[in-house]
Chain A
């Protein structure tokens, strides 16, 4: 085995990481108090929705996938899913997009952070056919409105989407598709305005979008630092938690400032030559949604193999997927942003081309790819991504695992599989 000059155990987490953790807990606690005590309405939203609209209307937003991640990170997902299974929901139903919203119905003792209070509005894009069934059911049980956004299909399939996404988004995402999402957003805004008791200020929305661009530009800079540093300066789990905590509050003063602190802290590490490992032997990328039930897994091969995970889609997507210039009509830019966000991360031809581009940029030696049969979008397209990466000289290990449901997780078996992959296909 590799002998390291710096033991991984000497790694110090970023200060930003603890700040983000504290912020999340405090923010949620305060939101919960306001909702319960002051009857402040809030929106429970899927991740791929224009949260900025609700922010400008003064409606706090809880992201369903984030809440599912909180439950999963505390290894509590199994308890919730057991309850759902006992109610007759079978085990093959995906937890990733549903656990957050379904937690509103689940009768589970001592829920994390007190549990989600009842929202005033639930909304989600219908990227998958289960979305309407799950969200509408919960909304009906709670007696709150549900807004679903139908997603039109692409008619153009341009693989190098990130080259156009920031400025040429009208061409990239197609006018007729932007139009239909925009029209549905307007209908959703009417519902949200009724809840908020005020009209949407489009100028304020534009300013919020500028702040989002600023935030994501800093994440873009952080990504570049991580990609080009001799050794990866920050663990993947921290890249994910720092970028995503800011993403769930994107454009807020806290998030914009946090993105600066994160970037500066990464830059300082790079400048002083600090890496996760002093002797980095293997660089890995993680393909797919985060392993939220066990983010510790990302550091499991540091000591044994000198292997560090350097990339996941989260920091990269913050930059390539979210930045939108040309904000004359900010609603239109928002509609464009969400049209292909899911496909860009998972589907051919978008995801494969992007993974290869990012893999080369980050000098990765191999990729570990999540396949979750219970969420079709976390399975579909993997074959094409795998072929693209392998053709580019990046070996791929596909592991079948649920990102949230910890009930079937076998730490020993998973470690053995990845170790074997590194030993047999990557080891230098």
Chain B
């Protein structure tokens, strides 16, 4: 099993802004993006650097004078970073409406600007993509893509080019295919979940082309490793699926699972396995194709239940897992409504389940103990399924 990342990803949190800063110094506008739903292809096509903005674990527990403590740690951290000027290098800060947390984040940032207390917050753009089966909603969301394209045109001073967008979509599809490859390698036990998740997250801070090259090399290295290097202990380890109610901007949960001698094969998380989604259509009108893709594959709490759960329920029936860990930290007000049904479904497929309600960052010891006991109760494997 591969146990190391390329050096450039080894500590992506150490200097997240390095590549973005270099791009900006070279005259490329930087567009900061919250969450995993905003189509980065549009930013790339506009000739801008897409910078994924992520929460920091070191902000956990910090008191924020302008945001209530009951909000998710993720948006507390993003809010603090924005107000304290960590995102100042961004020429535009895009916040989607794809979760309650992000909606509130946008409102709070907007309010800080209105009060004159947000001098260090970049100009804001609200990407108000709505979900649902209604044709009216689909048209509305498509129009929000058009708005976003206009906003990027204003930023760059250049009209959008359909060919550039098609090229960026092709590049995005290649990245999706790489993650799909990575997912297969995880299922085969050739790479652990924490490394894979870290590798996927590293894309947030990197130039897409550079990241794709590094990812390609890394995947090739994993695939070239002789089967014998897949350690016996890893091959026998129970395999887990994580279903998280909040975006995992850290590796704590994965590492806790691995400390308990289990392997995280996939996670229902916007920074994880689901980024290896099916490709965006390349022959269709680009904005319409992006709208369809987001409406179907976004890992968003606001994606309607049937679409959101389709991937999870498919995983339950895939035979790839021994157990499911439901991570519903104290801030959860969403997946908890589906937990009893999802638990029943998982158990009906022969999967053991564990509910974790402790925050794995702040109450790591409790979570680790629960995971140890859970994993110990699972049968070990003699080999990985093909």
A interface residues (Cβ-Cβ under 8 A, vs B): 87-90, 92-94, 98, 126, 128-130, 132-134, 136-137, 148, 150, 152-153, 155, 157, 176, 180, 183-184, 187, 347-349, 371, 373-376, 379-384
Supplied contacts A129-B302, A150-B137, 6 more A-B pairs, CB within 8 Å: A180-B130, A184-B134, A187-B136, A349-B114, A376-B333, A383-B68
A87, A157, A183, A384: the one contacting B134 at CB < 8 Å is A183
Q: Which residues of A contact B126 (CB under 8 A)?
A: 153, 155
Chain B residue with the shortest CB-CB distance to A188: B134
B70, B99, B103, B336: the one contacting A90 at CB < 8 Å is B336
Interface residues of B in 53-71 (CB under 8 A from A): 65-68, 70-71
CB distance from B281 to the nearest CB of A (A): 24
1/0 contact trace for B91-118 toward A, CB 8 Å?
0000001011001101110110010000
B110, B331, B337: the one contacting A134 at CB < 8 Å is B337
**CB contact under 8 A between A348 and B108, given known A94-B333, A153-B128, A383-B67:** yes
Q: Are B339 and A88 in contact (CB under 8 A)?
A: yes
Q: Which residues of B contact A150 (CB under 8 A)?
A: 130-132, 134, 137, 140
CB distance from A145 to the nearest CB of B (A): 12
Give A136 to B99 CA distance when docked, in angstroms. 18
Q: Are B330 and A92 in contact (CB under 8 A)?
A: yes
Q: Are A380 and B305 in contact (CB under 8 A)?
A: no
CB distance from B309 to the nearest CB of A (A): 10
Judge whether B328 is part of the interface by a CB distance below 8 angstroms: yes
A92, A152, A380: the one contacting B140 at CB < 8 Å is A152
Q: Are A92 and B332 in contact (CB under 8 A)?
A: yes
Q: Are A133 and B338 in contact (CB under 8 A)?
A: yes
Judge whether B384 is part of the interface by a CB distance below 8 angstroms: no
**CB contact under 8 A between A90 and B339, given known A129-B301, A150-B134, A153-B103:** yes
Q: Which residues of B contact A373 (CB under 8 A)?
A: 70
Q: Are B110 and A157 in contact (CB under 8 A)?
A: yes
Q: Which residues of A contact B137 (CB under 8 A)?
A: 150, 180, 184
**CB contact under 8 A between A384 and B143, given known A90-B336, A129-B302, A137-B341:** no
Q: Are B97 and A153 in contact (CB under 8 A)?
A: yes
Q: Which residues of A contact B311 (CB under 8 A)?
A: none
Judge whether B357 is part of the interface by a CB distance below 8 angstroms: yes
**CB contact under 8 A between A92 and B333, given known A155-B126, A376-B100, A379-B68:** yes
B interface residues (Cβ-Cβ under 8 A, vs A): 65-68, 70-71, 97, 99-100, 103-104, 106-108, 110-111, 114, 126, 128, 130-132, 134, 136-137, 140, 143, 301-302, 304-305, 328, 330-334, 336-341, 343, 355, 357
Q: Are A371 and B343 in contact (CB under 8 A)?
A: no
Q: Are A348 and B111 in contact (CB under 8 A)?
A: yes
Q: Are A137 and B111 in contact (CB under 8 A)?
A: no
Chain B residue with the shortest CB-CB distance to A153: B128
Give A375 to B104 CA distance when docked, in angstroms. 13
Give A106 to B67 CA distance when docked, in angstroms. 35
Q: Which residues of A contact B338 (CB under 8 A)?
A: 133, 137
Chain B residue with the shortest CB-CB distance to A134: B337
Q: Are A153 and B100 in contact (CB under 8 A)?
A: no
CB distance from A130 to the nearest CB of B (A): 5
Give A347 to B301 CA distance when docked, in angstroms. 21
Q: Which residues of A contact B106 (CB under 8 A)?
A: 153
Q: Which residues of A contact B337 (CB under 8 A)?
A: 89, 93, 98, 130, 133-134, 137
Q: Is the interface of A mostly helix, strand, loop or mixed?
A: loop
Q: Are A183 and B136 in contact (CB under 8 A)?
A: yes
Chain B residue with the shortest CB-CB distance to A147: B134
**CB contact under 8 A between A371 and B68, given known A92-B332, A187-B134:** yes
CB distance from A154 to the nearest CB of B (A): 9
Tell which of A93, A129, A371, A380 has the most Cβ of chain B within 10 Å: A129
Q: Which residues of A contact B99 (CB under 8 A)?
A: 129
Q: Are B111 and A349 in contact (CB under 8 A)?
A: yes
Q: Are A93 and B333 in contact (CB under 8 A)?
A: yes
Q: Are A374 and B333 in contact (CB under 8 A)?
A: yes
Q: Which residues of B contact A129 (CB under 8 A)?
A: 99-100, 301-302, 333-334
Q: Which residues of A contact B110 (CB under 8 A)?
A: 157
Q: Which residues of A contact B357 (CB under 8 A)?
A: 90, 92
Give A381 to B100 CA distance when docked, in angstroms. 13
Provide 7 A-B residue pairs closer than 8 Å at the C-beta atoms, listed in order of the A residue. Answer: A92-B357, A128-B100, A150-B130, A150-B137, A155-B128, A187-B134, A380-B71
Q: Which residues of A contact B304 (CB under 8 A)?
A: 132, 136, 148
Give A349 to B341 CA distance when docked, in angstroms. 39
Give A26 to B332 CA distance when docked, in angstroms. 39
Q: Which residues of B contact A126 (CB under 8 A)?
A: 132, 302
Q: Which residues of A contact B128 (CB under 8 A)?
A: 152-153, 155
Give A414 to B29 CA distance when docked, in angstroms. 53
Q: Are B340 and A87 in contact (CB under 8 A)?
A: yes
Q: Which residues of A contact B355 (CB under 8 A)?
A: 90
Q: Which residues of A contact B331 (CB under 8 A)?
A: 92
CB distance from A50 to the nearest CB of B (A): 16
Give A195 to B70 CA distance when docked, in angstroms. 41
Chain B residue with the shortest CB-CB distance to A343: B107
Give A376 to B104 CA distance when docked, in angstroms. 9
Q: Which residues of B contact A381 (CB under 8 A)?
A: 107
Q: Are A136 and B305 in contact (CB under 8 A)?
A: yes
Closest 9 pairs between A and B when the two form their complex, measured CB to CB: A183-B136, A88-B340, A373-B70, A133-B337, A348-B111, A150-B130, A129-B301, A153-B128, A180-B140
Give A180 to B343 CA distance when docked, in angstroms. 36
CB distance from B128 to the nearest CB of A (A): 4
Q: Are A132 and B305 in contact (CB under 8 A)?
A: yes
Chain B residue with the shortest CB-CB distance to A373: B70
Q: Which residues of B contact A374 (CB under 8 A)?
A: 333
Q: Which residues of B contact A134 (CB under 8 A)?
A: 337
Q: Are A89 and B114 in contact (CB under 8 A)?
A: no
Q: Which residues of B contact A379 (CB under 8 A)?
A: 68, 70-71
Chain A residue with the shortest CB-CB distance to B111: A348
Q: Which residues of B contact A132 (CB under 8 A)?
A: 302, 304-305
CB distance from B308 to the nearest CB of A (A): 9
Chain B residue with the shortest CB-CB distance to A382: B68
Chain B residue with the shortest CB-CB distance to A352: B111
Q: Are B305 and A133 in contact (CB under 8 A)?
A: yes
Give A94 to B68 CA distance when docked, in angstroms. 17
Chain B residue with the shortest CB-CB distance to A133: B337
Tell which of A87, A130, A382 has the most Cβ of chain B within 10 Å: A130
CB distance from B21 to the nearest CB of A (A): 30
